[in-house]
């Protein structure tokens, strides 16, 4: 129990949360463009910069940062849970012994499962809020009208049921393999470089980390597509699921 509640686990969790929040804030417009392309399949522009230009032109200069607070809140909580669970489980399992790549992969997978089960409701709400107010090309997508995070939770549970907050859980669980794949390629590339060099520079670590992440994201991207659509599916389906054949106003659609 002392290992689980250790100061070291807390430090790792806080560092992971702060680092992820910083990175997401910098690249948030790119994430906005990604989400629009995933859920709005009728959008003609297929390149990131063109989608961003369309969003700014149609919805305003700050539109690429719409939903920033709920996303950052979810990301902060998610990474805190992941890194805390990862380091706590590793401390309990390893217990001072030499850690191996296999053990790190198993611990990372378990920590990812814990993270998904605990934080999926936050990501469902943040996806809905991020799509709110967007101008879609797909006419089947019905806009939502949430006043904030708490109101989104309330409307989703009232109109769709509590389990709707866990929409996209299955693909999210499958996406736990993303960091596992990333870690595998990262360690492999690092070992290859260390055969030629005594020590790796910060640039070396950055480059191999980026390559490993790109490979992991490419491999798991289809599941990311499914995850985004499931999390935001009320905006697409609620008009017909709640009242078949009857058009609903924004306030009536949760």
Return the CATH number at 127. Answer: 1.50.40.10
- On the question of pLDDT at 68 being above 70, the answer is yes
Whether residue 242 is contained in a domain is answered as no
Q: What is the span of the domain harbouring residue 42?
A: 7-135
Residue 128 lies in a domain: yes
CA dist 122 and 76 (Å) reads: 11
Is there a domain that residue 78 lies in? yes
Tell me the backbone φ, ψ of residue 46, rounded to 5 degrees: -115, 0
pLDDT, tens only, 143-166: 667 787 888 888 889 888 888 888
Identify whether 170 is part of a domain.
no
Whether 158 is in a domain gets the answer no
* 196-217 confidence digits (pLDDT tens): 877 888 888 888 888 988 888 8
Q: Does the pLDDT value for residue 113 go beyond 70?
A: yes
Mean pLDDT throughout 127-156? Answer: 74
Q: What share of the chain is helix, strand, coil (3-state, %, to 5)?
A: 75, 0, 25
Domain total in the chain: 1
* pLDDT band per the 50, 70, 90 thresholds, residue 78: confident
Q: pTM (2 decimals)? A: 0.62
Give the count of alpha carbons within 13 A of 2, CB side only.
1
Q: Is residue 103 part of a domain?
A: yes
* Residue at 236 is within a domain: no
CB 231 within 8 A of CB 201: no
User: What pLDDT score does 83 carry?
Assistant: 85
- % the chain with pLDDT above 90: 0
Banded pLDDT at 97 (limits 50, 70, 90): low
Helical H segments across the chain, by residue range: 7-39, 48-59, 68-94, 101-131, 149-160, 169-174, 177-194, 202-231, 233-242
User: What is the structure's pLDDT at 227?
Assistant: 67
Question: How far is Cα 129 from Cα 148, in angstroms, rounded to an integer?
Answer: 8
In a domain, 73, yes or no: yes
Q: What's the rounded mean pLDDT across residues 129-137?
A: 68
In this predicted structure, what is the pLDDT of residue 98?
Answer: 66
DSSP structural state of residue 36: H
């Amino acid at each position: 129990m002392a290992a689980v509640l250790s100061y070291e686990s807390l430090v790792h969790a806080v560092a992971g949360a702060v680092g992820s929040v910083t990175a997401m804030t910098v690249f948030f417009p790119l994430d906005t463009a990604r989400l629009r392309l995933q859920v709005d399949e009728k959008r003609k522009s297929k390149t990131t910069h063109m989608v961003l230009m369309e969003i700014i032109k149609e919805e305003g200069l700050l539109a690429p940062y719409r939903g920033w607070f709920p996303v950052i809140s979810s990301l902060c909580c998610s990474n805190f849970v992941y890194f805390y669970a990862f380091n706590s489980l590793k401390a309990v399992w390893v217990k001072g012994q030499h850690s191996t790549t296999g053990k790190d992969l198993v611990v990372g997978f378990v920590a990812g499962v814990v993270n998904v089960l605990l934080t999926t409701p936050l990501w469902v709400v943040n996806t809905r809020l991020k799509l709110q107010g967007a101008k879609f090309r797909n006419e089947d997508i019905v806009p939502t009208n949430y006043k904030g995070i708490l109101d989104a939770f309330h409307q989703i549970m009232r109109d769709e049921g509590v389990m709707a907050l866990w929409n996209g859980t299955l693909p999210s669980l499958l996406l736990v393999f993303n960091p596992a794949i990333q870690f595998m390629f990262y360690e492999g590339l690092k070992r290859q470089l260390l055969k030629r060099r005594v020590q790796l520079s910060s640039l070396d670590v950055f480059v191999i980390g980026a390559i490993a992440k790109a490979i992991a994201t490419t491999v798991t991207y289809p599941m990311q597509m499914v995850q985004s659509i499931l999390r935001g599916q009320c905006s697409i389906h609620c008009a017909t699921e709640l009242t078949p054949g009857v058009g609903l106003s924004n306030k009536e659609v949760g």
